[in-house]
Amino acid sequence: MMVKKILLVGTLDSKGREVAYLRQRVEERGWGVITLDVGTLGNPMCPADIPQDEVAQAGGGDFSQMKLKGDRSYSVGIMTEGAIKKAAELYSRGELAGVLAIGGGTGTAIGTAVMRSLPLGIPKVMVSTVASRDVSRYVGTRDITMIHAVVDLVGLNPITRVILDNAAGAIVGMVAGAAEVAANRSLIAATSFGISPISAELARPLLEEKGYEMVTFHANGMGGRALEELIDQGLFTGVLDFVTHELVDQLYNGYCGDIGADRLATAAKRGAPIVIAPGGLDCIVFNSIDDVPDKLKGRKLHHHDIRVAVRTSEEELEIIAMTFAQRLANPRGPVGVLIPLQGWSEVDKAGAALFDPSIDRFFIDNLKRLLPPEVSLREVDCHISDLKFARLAVEWLDEMIHSHR
């Protein structure tokens, strides 16, 4: 039987001592280590199991030529590609227990790129001098653990030894504690959002009654992207996409607008049954009143905390209807759109600030006109946060799952 090992990624020209120390500390705890050298500048301070030239070759480069060329940014790109390829080989051979990487700015960029290329559930620990900054580009939508190095990682001293020992302990503890995340026949993904509907909360017990488990994604930009990626990993039996609000924020680069181009599209593309609702399509949310563009001023408005929600218009919802139609085109599995007629969020219901059923009706009519024939649309005369709505969504998804199998 193949024994799984921990992949240890670092630039051995600058962090060789730390890598050697980490290796020793991990091995003392009974785990094998494979070191991978992504250094591009000097000579490695210690030998690597996967040396620089092998990594460069896997990345489509030639190490000796790269050194001559001396283009740092090019070299880093090649080494990143190569390290990803090598990690993928180990993973596909079932030899990868987890990834530990160590680095400053460049090392963190390479190390986390390797981690982001691996599926959810594989332990990923990054010891980084830049952990306490904006890590959204490094961590992104992935289950990466960042250990802040506090001091610079140049040589062993009483402070770095504490950090490195913590890292060795963390990865070994994680690897020992980790079970592979397998596609679970009964796992359902749902979206939720602070100010919008509580549909996901209401759906949870209903799904559990039917033997499903529910995983919630906070549809705040990052959550929506993570949802799409994990649908693409094939983890979910079905999706209840209650909150599609991110799409309207994207129009104005609002609070939850950083969602990429795949939002809403993956389930249909992969054939995972999905029920979609217009949760939060009633409003565009901005970080503060100062961020509201001039052209939206004068519309119905709701102050949440410092964030503000502005009512969406017919024009915007027509664009959203087109987006729905495009992203749900040629679905490989069942897709349903379920629209409540009495409002789409806590601030969009009878008596609330953003309630406007005529705009909602305009959106529904456009959807009917634009949606591909394979996608069915149902209207429900209730509010999105009503139990009735959650029940219909759960039942519809359940039917889809059974008929699709």
Q: Which of residues 24-83 bind another protein (CB under 8 A)?
A: 25, 29, 72-73, 76-77, 80
State both tokens at 98.
């987890």
Report the C-alpha gap between 223 and 230 in whole angstroms: 11
Stretch that binds another protein, among 86-94, 105-113, 286-294, 350-358 (CB under 8 A): 105-113
Location of structure tokens 């030899």:
95
Near another protein by CB under 8 A: residue from 35, 141, 199, 366? 141
Residue 54, phi then psi, degrees to nearest 5: -70, -40
Nearer CB in complex with another protein: 109/206: 109
Near another protein by CB under 8 A: residue from 51, 169, 260, 372? 169
State both tokens at 52.
């620089």
Nearer CB in complex with another protein: 140/372: 140
Closest separation in Å from C-beta 369 to another protein: 34
Near another protein by CB under 8 A: residue from 97, 171, 338, 380? 171
Do residues 378 and 396 lie in contact, with contact meaning Cβ atoms separated by under 8 Å? Answer: yes
Q: Give the residue from 72, 85, 89 showing the smallest Cα distance to 13.
A: 72
Report the C-alpha gap between 312 and 289 in whole angstroms: 16
Nearer CB in complex with another protein: 153/337: 153
The pattern of x and - marking residues 209 through 238 that bind another protein according to CB under 8 A reads ----xxxxxx-xxxx--x---x----x---
Location of structure tokens 């962090």:
15
Q: Please, what is the angle between helix 199-209 and helix 387-404, to 10°? A: 50
Question: Count of residues binding another protein (CB under 8 A)?
Answer: 83
Near another protein by CB under 8 A: residue from 27, 54, 88, 104? 104
* ∠ Cα 245 246 249 (to 5°): 95
Near another protein by CB under 8 A: residue from 1, 68, 177, 209? 177
DSSP 233-274: TT--SEEEEEE-THHHHHHTT-TT----S-TTTHHHHHT--E
**H or E stretch covering 217:** strand 213-218
168 binds another protein (CB under 8 A): yes
133 binds another protein (CB under 8 A): yes
Nearer CB in complex with another protein: 309/364: 309
Closest separation in Å from C-beta 297 to another protein: 24
Closest separation in Å from C-beta 285 to another protein: 15
150 binds another protein (CB under 8 A): yes
Closest separation in Å from C-beta 224 to another protein: 12
* ∠ Cα 248 259 388 (to 5°): 55
Stretch that binds another protein, among 53-61, 83-91, 116-124, 291-299 (CB under 8 A): 116-124
| Helix/strand/coil for 99 | strand
260 binds another protein (CB under 8 A): no
State both tokens at 45.
């301070």
Residues 6-25 that bind another protein (CB under 8 A): 14, 25
147 binds another protein (CB under 8 A): yes
148 binds another protein (CB under 8 A): yes
144 binds another protein (CB under 8 A): yes
Closest separation in Å from C-beta 191 to another protein: 9
DSSP classification of residue 144: P
Report the C-alpha gap between 111 and 136 in whole angstroms: 14
Near another protein by CB under 8 A: residue from 161, 332, 378, 388? 161
Near another protein by CB under 8 A: residue from 33, 153, 240, 321? 153
Nearer CB in complex with another protein: 121/271: 121
Task: Please list the residues that pair with 213 across neighbouring strands.
Answer: 187
Query: How many alpha carbons fall within 13 Å on the CB side of residue 10?
Result: 33
Nearer CB in complex with another protein: 35/108: 108
Name residues whose C-beta falls within 8 Å of residue 321's C-beta, 6 or more positions apart in sequence: 363, 366, 367, 369, 370, 371
